[in-house]
């Protein structure tokens, strides 16, 4: 009997949600994603110490540049052991500034270019705010493909598809967390609100012919992953990847393209109203940006101490 991880790979492209090279080498995902929190964890690993020193060298105190250089350096190391793409994130503190997001994204892709890494192997991660989606729309037209993250609502997914972004990362686990706390009960299987959110988006995209890739993210348990077997991609932590690798049970495809809703289009005001009406998405988007911003600041402090 093959493992659940091997069975999952038959339906879905598996992505490692980590900067841990040892885990990536062991579990052999196609792609990998990083974010400020994962880079902060990577910075604590001895094997990356020299990359921290190289990142601050010659930056003249520009800690934002040092963070970008470190993120790209970690990305380069990961690309040596995966066949696919690395996602590298723009500073979350720029989430409400389209032009600043554009400049930072162009700098990150420029650093990869200087390292000899082709654009076809990099995705720029941007928060799914209105401003972030507009920046991604321009980047896509310039040939820089994007991963729109911190996505919690159907409205965000609709706007991302209209903008022609390459990939979205709806956050299953954080949606689950919110509803579990709000309703004071657990959710399992297909009733999980995070699972339902991704399934709805996936079916909407397929029904309307959108090419945007749906990559479920932020999983809390194997049940959530199993319910989304068949999604375009799933980005999974090393712990859960290992559990899937160790489990020899059957893993059928449960997510299929079915009847989706009619195509929608949102202007700025209707997008903001729809997001405002979704208390979970409003709270989790704001919280996610804040948490990534704090970890970005911690990474900057770590780099400053080495300057």
The 10s digit of each residue's pLDDT in 33-59 is 999 999 999 999 898 999 999 999 989
DSSP string, 271-305: HHHHHHH-HHHHHHHHHHHHHHHHHHHHHHHHHHT
The 10s digit of each residue's pLDDT in 175-213 is 999 999 999 999 999 999 999 999 999 999 999 999 999
pLDDT of residue 259: 83
CATH of the domain at 10: 3.20.20.70
> Structurally, how many domains does the chain consist of?
1
Beta strands in 47-200 (DSSP E): 86-89, 122-127, 146-151, 167-170
Range(s) of the domain holding residue 42:
4-305
Smallest Cα–Cα separation from 34: which of 115, 173, 147? 147
pLDDT of residue 69: 97
Tell me the catalytic residues: 125
The residue assigned the tokens 């949600």 is 17
pLDDT of residue 19: 84
pLDDT of residue 139: 98
User: Rg for the chain (alpha carbons), in Å?
Assistant: 19
The 10s digit of each residue's pLDDT in 146-183 is 999 999 999 999 999 999 999 999 999 999 999 999 99
């Amino acid at each position: 009997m093959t493992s659940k991880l091997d069975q999952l790979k038959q339906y879905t492209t598996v992505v490692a949600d980590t900067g841990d090279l040892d885990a990536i080498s062991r579990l052999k995902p196609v792609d990998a994603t990083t974010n400020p929190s994962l880079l902060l964890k990577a910075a604590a690993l001895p094997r990356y110490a020299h990359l921290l020193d190289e990142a601050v060298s010659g930056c003249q105190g520009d800690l934002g540049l040092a963070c970008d250089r470190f993120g790209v350096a970690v990305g380069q190391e990961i690309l040596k052991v995966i066949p696919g793409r690395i996602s590298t994130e723009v500073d979350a503190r720029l989430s409400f500034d389209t032009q600043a997001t554009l400049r930072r994204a162009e700098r990150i892709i420029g650093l990869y270019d200087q390292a000899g890494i082709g654009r076809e192997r990099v995705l720029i991660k941007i928060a799914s705010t209105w401003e972030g989606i507009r920046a991604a729309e321009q980047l896509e037209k310039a040939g820089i493909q994007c991963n729109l993250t911190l996505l919690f609502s159907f409205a965000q997914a609709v706007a991302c598809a209209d903008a022609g972004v390459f990939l979205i990362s709806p956050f299953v686990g954080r949606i689950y967390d919110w509803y579990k706390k709000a309703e004071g009960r657990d959710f399992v299987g297909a009733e999980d609100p995070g699972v339902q959110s991704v399934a709805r988006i996936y079916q909407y995209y397929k029904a309307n012919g959108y090419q945007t890739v749906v990559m479920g993210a932020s999983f809390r348990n194997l049940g959530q992953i199993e319910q989304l077997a068949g999604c375009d991609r799933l980005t999974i932590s090393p712990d859960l990847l290992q559990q899937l690798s160790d489990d020899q049970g059957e893993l059928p495809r449960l997510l299929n393209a079915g009847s989706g809703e009619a195509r929608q289009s949102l202007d700025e005001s209707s997008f903001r109203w729809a997001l405002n009406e979704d208390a979970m998405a409003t709270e989790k988007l704001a919280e996610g940006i804040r948490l990534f911003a704090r970890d970005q600041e911690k990474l900057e402090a770590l780099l400053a101490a080495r300057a």
